[in-house]
């Protein structure tokens, strides 16, 4: 566990970083590709999470980089749960958190407790899956289709199969809970889910909450 001295440094932190498979995303809005990132370009203290195993190992020996993974109470979640997904959940007291990226994760949070969730492929992955089945299924999704009507063409049939079950599951889980969307495809889902809101800073809000918990 981090020392008290580290805790003090955590509380004084202002620069946060979400290390992904393709980019270093910073709380000040900067985004740098993993191929072009230079560790020595930053000498200030940075608090980070990482889903990139290579860079997580590289950063272990850097004194000014602090991995927030060691501050997580995994008893609230489970060992194999993605750290970025956990941070999104940490940011919410009550709600259904939908992170729409390469994969789409859906988590239910009640009174700060993680009730559980599920994962489905993201829309790009779904499209690739259909294309791999047959070239005739290589079509764009129609996100404007009427989900109350059964489709009568291939484009809408594929779109319905990708969208309708997801939206229905989210609706069944949310009920009286707000739905908070984040991730690259959040804007796509926004019109499809009543009363949903987008929060692009959800990961960083969760990181800040973890930091404040070290007081």
Give the separation between CA 112 and CA 26, rounded to whole angstroms: 25
Comparison of pLDDT for 213 and 149, the residue scoring more: 149
The strand order across the sheet containing 65-67 reads 31-33, 23-26, 16-19, 46-50, 65-67
User: Which residue do the tokens 């007291």 mark?
Assistant: 93
Contact 83, 48 (CB under 8 A): no
Q: Report d(CA 173, CA 175) in Å as an integer.
A: 6
Q: Please name which of 126, 159, 166, 132 lies closest in space to residue 144, comparing C-alpha atoms.
A: 159
Longest dimension (CA), the chain: 64
Instruction: Compute the distance between CA of residue 147 and CA of residue 187 in angstroms, rounded to an integer.
Output: 17
Rg (CA), the chain: 19
CATH code 3.60.20.10 for 4-72+207-212: no
Check whether 170 has a pLDDT greater than 70. yes
Q: Percent of the chain beyond pLDDT 90?
A: 80
Spatial separation of the C-alpha atoms in residues 126 and 124, rounded to whole Å: 5
pLDDT band at 48; cut points 50, 70, 90: very high
Locate 65 and state its tokens: 């980089």
Whether 13 shows a pLDDT value over 90: the answer reads no
What do you get for the CA distance between the two ends of the chain, in Å? 14
The mean of the pLDDT values for the chain is 91
Pick 100 or 80 by higher pLDDT.
100
Residues constituting the chain: 215
- Could you state, in order of their start, the residue ranges of all structural domains in the chain? 4-72+207-212, 92-198
On the question of a common fold for 4-72+207-212 and 92-198, the answer reads: yes
The domain 92-198 having CATH identifier 3.30.420.40: the answer here is yes
Catalytic residue among 18, 43, 79, 84: 84
Per-residue pLDDT at 42: 87
Query: What pLDDT score does 6 carry?
Result: 45
Asked whether the predicted pLDDT for residue 154 surpasses 60, the reply is: yes
Residues 24-30 have a mean pLDDT of 93
84 is catalytic: yes
Residue (of 43, 63, 93, 69) closest to 205 by Cα position: 93
The pLDDT of residue 137 is: 97
């Amino acid at each position: 566990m981090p020392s008290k001295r580290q805790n003090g440094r955590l509380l004084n932190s202002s620069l946060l970083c979400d290390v992904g498979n393709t980019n270093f995303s910073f709380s000040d809005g900067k985004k740098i590709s993993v191929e072009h990132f230079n560790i020595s370009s930053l000498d200030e203290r940075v608090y980070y999470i990482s889903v990139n195993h290579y860079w997580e190992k590289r950063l272990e020996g850097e004194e000014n980089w602090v991995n927030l993974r060691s501050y997580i109470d995994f008893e609230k979640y489970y060992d194999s749960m993605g750290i970025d997904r956990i941070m999104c959940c940490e940011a919410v007291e009550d709600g259904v958190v939908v992170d729409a990226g390469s994969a789409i994760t859906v988590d239910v949070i009640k009174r700060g407790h993680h009730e559980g969730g599920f994962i489905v492929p993201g829309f790009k992955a779904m499209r690739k899956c259909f294309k791999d089945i047959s070239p005739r299924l290589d079509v764009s999704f129609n996100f404007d289709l009427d989900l109350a009507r059964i489709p009568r063409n291939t484009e809408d049939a594929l779109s319905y199969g990708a969208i309708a079950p997801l939206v229905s599951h989210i609706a069944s889980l949310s009920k009286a809970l707000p739905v908070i969307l984040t991730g690259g495809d959040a804007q796509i889902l926004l019109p499809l889910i009543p009363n949903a809101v987008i929060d692009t800073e959800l990961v960083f809000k969760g990181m800040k909450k973890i930091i404040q918990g070290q007081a």
